Structure 1
């Protein structure tokens, strides 16, 4: 079963249709996860729909495309206003805090669970721009490790996926850099962006019993990009 969350229902209904066609069950929840009230609503509705919470994947966030409508949010730190800093932190880090804070007590009631936080290789590398984004993703990675240490005794596993270039609307304006083979090879040995399906497989693995001995893991899904750096 799947609870899919976004600001609005625009793409969620289509996702739910695909889940149902594949033989699964799901529900959609429109919530602002940059606020604690949104996380509280989400956990409550998911539990109401499915009777409990076993797996949480925290993938809420924004990237480079956000700067098209929110100028200054993907700049270097000297060019970043306090408002832009808090904007990105709320969406990319606070949302994870609010969700895991609400999820852990519910997982304890059920004797355990699995949490997968979505970060980025930007949280592992130095960047010339997007400093707030990089800081948020780095914090997500270390939060994952700390949660692993703290909640293993509750049979709650916490892992993290750190993607590189993934072909989503978030980075769609920049994907034409892969059109040139030489440029593509300089970005990642895979010479292409990853697909949403490849990201989903990574998250599914870490959430599954096949990863029962993975805890505090940062699974890099970047086609080899970070291996060069």
Structure 2
């Protein structure tokens, strides 16, 4: 307990899955949490977990595809707590979004330019930039900060179809590396987590395949999807002072998926 004591952490996509569990864990570890996402009711459910355990936080309902939202989130955090020490850039879309918005997770030959822009120009990439753009000046002014960007194993390997998604995740990875070498001397560390198959609503259509043991083994050497808490634990380490010499890192948390060169 207390690994983030008195730090202020902004967490995007905090209404469910990885973001929600990260908000809860950071709150238990002493951070003042600022959770943001579109679903206010779900945000408040996670905040209730934080406050019930004696933690502190606020929620800021926001759609990061709206260019004004990041500045509004930052303003709310500063108004409440005066500073921002940590940003966990977690908001994004996945396979469920592709079902609800046909073409967005398709191959180049099937996707439209509008499909491409929905991912690249939406929350999966541009939303990361706009949140960093809003938060970073405050961290530089304070001379300290930790930014944790959530990419994917799809950022380091190809996926069948989903070309805009993999492009966005790869860009997030190199954005983090570039930021790491640019801002570390000013006290701001940047690192990236690359999750594998994590049991969240975002990839529910894929996670269901793990119910078949043969398919599960083919999808992941550990034969199971990861849990959101397992990614939150990785984010906790990177955000904390325990990772004071970790900068520009790519932390893969995928059950071994990217460790092998072929299924089996």
Tell me if 1:14 matches 2:14. no
**Counterpart in 2 of 1:181?**
213
TM-score (norm 2): 0.85
Indicate the residue corresponding to 1:86 in structure 2.
117
Inter-partner Cα distance in structure 2 for 1:3 and 1:108:
19
| Selected match of 1:133 from 158, 165, 168 | 165
- Deviation sequence 1:13-65 (CA, Å, 0-9, x none): 10000111122111111111123211111111111111110000000110000
Residue of structure 2 equivalent to 1:38: 69
Alignment-derived partner of residue 25 in structure 1: 56
**What's the offset of the Cα at 1:9?**
0.6
Deviations 1:173-207 (A, max 9, x none): 22221112222111111111010100100111100
CA distance in 1, matches of 2:171, 2:205: 26
Is 2:105–2:165's contact at 8 Å kept on the other side of the alignment? yes
In 1, are the aligned partners of 2:198 and 2:207 still within 8 Å (CA)?
A: no
- SS state of the match for residue 77, structure 1? coil
Q: Deviations over 1:78-122 (max 9, x none)?
A: 111111111111110001000111111100121210000000010
- 8 Å CA contact 1:92–1:133 kept in 2: the answer is yes
Alignment of 1:1-229 (within 5 A): 1-89=32-120, 90-229=122-261
C-alpha separation in 2, matches of 1:22 and 1:167: 24
SS in 1 for 2:164: helix
Structure 1's consecutive aligned runs of 4 or more residues displaced over 2 angstroms after TM superposition are none
TM-score normalised to the size of structure 1?
0.97
CA contact (8 A) 1:65 1:172 kept: yes
Q: How many residue pairs align between the two structures?
A: 229
